[in-house]
Amino acid sequence: MLLTGSMALQAQSDYAHQFTKSFHETMDTVASRWKVRFRYNVDTAGLKLPYADFRLKPYSLEETLDNICKYFDFNWWKQNDGSYKIKPYEYARRHEKDGEKMIAWLNSLYRDKTQFEARKDSVRKEVRRLLGIDDYKKQLVNGRPRLSKLRGYDGYTVQNVCIETLKGEHVFGSIYAPRPDRKTLSRWKAARGKRSWSGFALILCPDGHFNGGRYRKDEQQRLATLARMGAVCVDYDLYGWGESEREHGASAHRTDRAHVMQALNGLVMLDYVLNSRKDIDHHRIGVNGGSGGGTQSVLLSVLDNRFTAAAPTVSLASHFDGGCPCESGKPIQLAGGGTCNAELAAFFAPKPMLIVSDGGDWTSTVPSLEFPYLQRIYAMYGASGQVTNVHLPRERHDFGPNKRTAVYDFFVKVFGLDATQRDESKVTVVAPAVLQTDAK
């Protein structure tokens, strides 16, 4: 039996049998040679790898992993503890080195503002086509909104809204608005000049995938605080989350339809507030969301020119399009022969943009990769100072206090909001049911 086993191994390790070894035998060799550990999110039982030893490159662990994983349509990801996770291929997620190559390629496409503007015009049109947003907009029913009772708090109000979008479908959200006393309102008007006062700023706040959705504490704190500072703020459920889950089911969220519906819902909310309220300054319209909400913020800024300031938070990368079909289900990254969220964000130039990033997620590359690229594009417009990056290297993926502070500071600067009203302790955090359409 020992001789038979030896002969079988030898038979697999020759030219006639393509020098085949088992996947696990090969990976054990890699682990031993480079002193690393592997974890697997894929089924590897029975897998065989031809030319196994030839795929090992003594000068590079990661090239070795590329050579092995790509044969099976797997990918590798280095973990914080130094181990490597082997996962299925993900079209929306790439390595940092791929982001570097993408940025270098994009930089080669335009040497000046004229070339960039031509590229922007072409890609934006193609994004609309690939998303299918205009076909959906033609089907809008413009249903009459259902509004909850207006609730008053310290310096702000909240009212829930439900709007029929397509026939039998709805977007569900809440509107946080300033409720200044006469003295505060007089001070705001004086600061801007009575003749130039044209109403409150508006900030659309698409939600991300944080636990609790738009009902969570930090979301209420951010929108209510911005409202206290002088901005009308609007958030709304992700498609298939919150009240939308009741209508469509949770499984609807992880579909390509969610990608276009969330964009549509954002535009419907924007139109509704601008058309229904007479107290909005149409020159101060912002968009700010975190994680998947940051991805939506960039997409909305590509789809609609009315936004005048944007603050995508813990989302932007050249090597990650978003880990959910609601962010990458429609193939918009194929526009223009290939694009990424960094280029889509660059289309916002020269208008003010804040990028909030941290060291604990895919945005860790922003200071060294995406932000310098954005600075180059803004410089073409003579507006280098209009794009800023607040990077929090010791923080992880959330919308915590320091990230909210960065957002407050940004909108104080670009919209002239009242920093004296920035006090999250004044915010009343309510139960999720209170923020839903049928709230009493």
Q: What is the pLDDT along the chain (440 residues), one digit of tens a residue?
A: 333 444 444 446 678 889 999 999 999 999 999 999 999 999 999 999 999 999 999 999 999 999 999 999 999 999 988 899 999 999 999 999 999 999 999 999 999 999 999 999 999 999 999 999 999 999 999 888 999 999 999 999 999 999 999 999 999 999 999 999 999 989 888 887 766 778 999 999 999 999 999 999 999 999 999 999 999 999 999 999 999 999 999 999 999 999 999 999 999 999 999 999 999 999 999 999 999 999 999 999 999 999 999 999 999 999 999 989 999 999 999 999 999 999 999 999 999 999 999 999 999 999 999 999 999 999 999 999 999 999 999 999 999 999 999 999 999 999 999 999 999 999 999 999 999 987 65
Helices (H), 132-286: 133-137, 182-192, 217-229, 242-248, 256-276
The owner of tokens 């969301």 is 289
Could you tell me which residues are beta bridge partners of residue 309? 286
Residue 148 amino acid letter: S
Encoding tokens for residue 33?
A: 């040679």
Tokens of 210: 């944080």
Q: Letter for the amino acid at 428?
A: T
In contact, 167 and 139? CB cutoff 8 Å: yes
Question: Distance from CA of residue 210 to its chain's centroid?
Answer: 12
Record the pTM: 0.93
Q: What is the pLDDT of residue 11?
A: 40
CB-based contacts of 119, cutoff 8 Å, min separation 6: 109, 110, 336
Concatenate the DSSP letters of all residues of 352-413 into one string.
-EEEEEETTSGGGGIIIIIHHHHHHHHHHTT-GGGEEEEEETT--SS--HHHHHHHHHHHHH
